[in-house]
């Protein structure tokens, strides 16, 4: 299991059977979302504070390389030259982490916050959203270079591109206004081949995650501020029904369990909700184990056998919790760093 430990700039690798830590990989500032390559040989982590993606070699459990998601700037926003970048040959860097870090150059967190990740179906490209900058970057994973940058017109004040996923021949991205805000956000449908916009779908002011459900021909969005998870169904090339399911306060991450069930990670209520997509119902389970509460779940990943889910409790004390799905109980707890965020399970690793 790979856990992005945002607070300590590392990925933690944990053996799911022994629960032993097998590696702790220093990657860069604020690692958040994780995505596994289709061949399971690589894990990518969005380094929100280092303007880069960390590429982890699953075989060796090491950082293979970092990939910049935007060129290193020569000028500040006021037009003045960033002399330090010239002096230190920052333009050859593949991450801002070498200089911008705790105790290093200011600002500690550099860049415009790469956040959402989507692997192309052939595994040769990586789509990256940016919280700031209203854009989508496509990385060529063969060369490690930026293949294309797509600017996204804000939807009203919603300019931060939070999340991304693919459903059929469309790519959907979620846009939100800079927080805090009560202005509406939007889901933007893009043609997968050209990234041309198709239409916007209104949503709440703080969409958290979008999750494609190919077998249902639908896409889910967690509305962090309105405590709902909304399922948007596709009908041919058009949008069909939109069904809102009430979750517990603060739904953030979404994990598909099977064709009809999704797990919502309810950040603000220290719980998870089992969503039944057939009858639009939700059953909420408080995150507790042996009498102890666990705070702020963010994301989860399905175990290799599909019988349990690994849930990140991202409180100031971090925990990786094994949620047994048949019994819907927390059965194991692994201590991780506080303020962790994402988790990915890569089957079949033998360290």
Partner 1 sequence: MRTNLNVAVAVIALCTSMVACGSGGSSGAVGGAGGTSAGHGGRGGRSGGAEGPLVVSAQPGTVYGIVTDIGTGAGIAGAEVTGGGQTTTTDDRGTFSLEGLDPGEVTLAISVDGYAPAFASALVGDTTQPLLTRMKKQGTPQPYAADTAKTLSEKTEAGPYAVIFEPDSLDTDDTELTVSITPLDPTKERDALPGSLVAGGKTPSLLTPVTFAEFTILDSNGKRVNLKSSATAQVELPIPPQLRAEYPLDSKIHCYAYDPDTGKWEDFVEGTVQLSSVDGTTPVLAASVRHFSWYGGAPQGNNCVDVYVKVVSAFDGTPLGNARVEASPGTTTYTDADGNALVRSAVGGATTSYTAYQTGLDVDGSLTGMKGAKYIEFGKVEEDLVGLVQKPCTGEPSATPGQKNVLGSQRSPLTLTVGRVTGVLYLATAILTAGDDSTPGQVQVFLQEGIPDSEGTIEEPMPTSGAVIRFAEVGSSEAPQILTELVPDSGYYTTSEGASITPGKLYSVSIDGDGNGSIDGTGTAFALGSVEWTNPADGDTVSSKNFTASWSDSGSEQGGDAYAPVYEAIISSTDGTDSALYIGTDREFPVKSFGMPDAPLTPGDYTGSVIGFSGALAGGTLSTSNNITGAGVTGLFYSMSAQSTAITFTVK
Q: Which residues bind partner 1 (CB under 8 A)?
A: 5, 7-10, 102-103, 108, 178-180, 182, 225-227, 248-250, 267-270, 293, 295-296, 314-319, 335-340
Please give the structure tokens belonging to residue 271: 């719980």
Least CB distance to partner 1 at residue 280 (A): 17
Least CB distance to partner 1 at residue 161 (A): 16
Report whether 307 contacts 325 (CB < 8 A): yes
Query: For residues 128 and 46, what is the distance between their CA atoms, to the nearest angstrom?
Result: 8
| Smaller CB separation from partner 1, 22 or 327 | 22
The backbone torsions φ and ψ at residue 110, rounded to the nearest 5 degrees and listed phi first, read -105, 155
| Smaller CB separation from partner 1, 210 or 336 | 336
In three-state secondary structure terms, 78 is coil
Least CB distance to partner 1 at residue 260 (A): 25
Least CB distance to partner 1 at residue 289 (A): 13
| Smaller CB separation from partner 1, 149 or 157 | 157
First to last CA, the chain: 12
| Smaller CB separation from partner 1, 318 or 342 | 318
| Residue 51: closest CA among 29, 36, 25 | 29
Least CB distance to partner 1 at residue 102 (A): 4
Query: For residues 100 and 30, what is the distance between their CA atoms, to the nearest angstrom?
Result: 12
| Smaller CB separation from partner 1, 127 or 267 | 267
| Smaller CB separation from partner 1, 227 or 322 | 227
| Residue 312: closest CA among 343, 285, 273 | 343
| Smaller CB separation from partner 1, 8 or 50 | 8
Cross-strand pairs, 301: 310
Cross-strand pairs, 322: 310, 332
Least CB distance to partner 1 at residue 259 (A): 29
Least CB distance to partner 1 at residue 103 (A): 5
The angle formed by the CA atoms of residues 10, 16 and 19, to the nearest 5 degrees, is 75
Q: Is 261 exposed, middle or buried (0-12, 13-18, 19+ CB in 10 A)?
A: middle
Which H helix or E strand runs over 187? Answer: strand 185-191
């Amino acid at each position: 299991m790979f856990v992005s430990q945002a607070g300590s700039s590392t990925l933690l690798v944990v053996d799911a059977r022994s629960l032993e830590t097998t590696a702790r990989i220093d990657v860069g500032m604020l690692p958040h979302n994780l995505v596994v390559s289709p061949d399971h040989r690589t894990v990518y982590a969005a380094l929100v504070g280092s303007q880069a993606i960390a590429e982890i070699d699953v075989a060796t459990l090491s950082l293979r390389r970092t990939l910049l998601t935007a060129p290193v700037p020569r000028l500040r926003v006021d037009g003045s030259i960033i002399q330090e970048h010239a002096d230190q040959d920052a333009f050859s860097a593949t991450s801002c982490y070498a200089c911008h870090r705790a105790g290093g150059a200011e600002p500690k967190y550099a860049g415009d916050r790469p956040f959402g990740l989507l692997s192309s179906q052939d595994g040769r490209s990586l789509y990256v959203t940016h919280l700031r900058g209203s854009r989508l970057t496509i990385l060529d994973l063969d060369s490690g270079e930026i293949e294309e940058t797509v600017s996204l017109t804000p939807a009203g004040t919603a300019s931060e591109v939070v999340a991304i996923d693919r459903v059929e021949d469309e790519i959907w991205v979620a846009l939100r206004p800079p927080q805090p805000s009560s202005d509406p956000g939007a889901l933007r449908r893009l043609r997968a081949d050209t990234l041309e916009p198709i239409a916007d779908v209104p949503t709440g002011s703080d969409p958290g995650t979008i999750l494609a459900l190919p077998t249902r021909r639908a896409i889910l969005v967690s509305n962090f501020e309105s405590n709902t998870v909304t399922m948007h169904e596709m009908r041919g090339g058009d949008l069909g029904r939109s069904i809102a399911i009430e979750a517990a306060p603060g739904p953030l991450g979404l994990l598909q369990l099977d064709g009809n069930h999704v797990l919502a990670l309810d950040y603000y209520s220290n719980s998870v909700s089992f969503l039944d997509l057939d009858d639009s119902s939700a059953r909420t389970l408080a995150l507790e184990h042996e009498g102890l509460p666990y705070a702020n779940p963010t994301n989860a990943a399905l175990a290799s056998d599909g019988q349990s889910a690994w849930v990140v409790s991202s409180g100031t004390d971090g925990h990786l919790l094994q949620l047994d799905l048949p019994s819907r109980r927390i059965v194991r707890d692994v201590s991780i760093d506080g303020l962790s965020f994402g988790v990915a399970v890569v089957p079949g690793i033998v360290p």
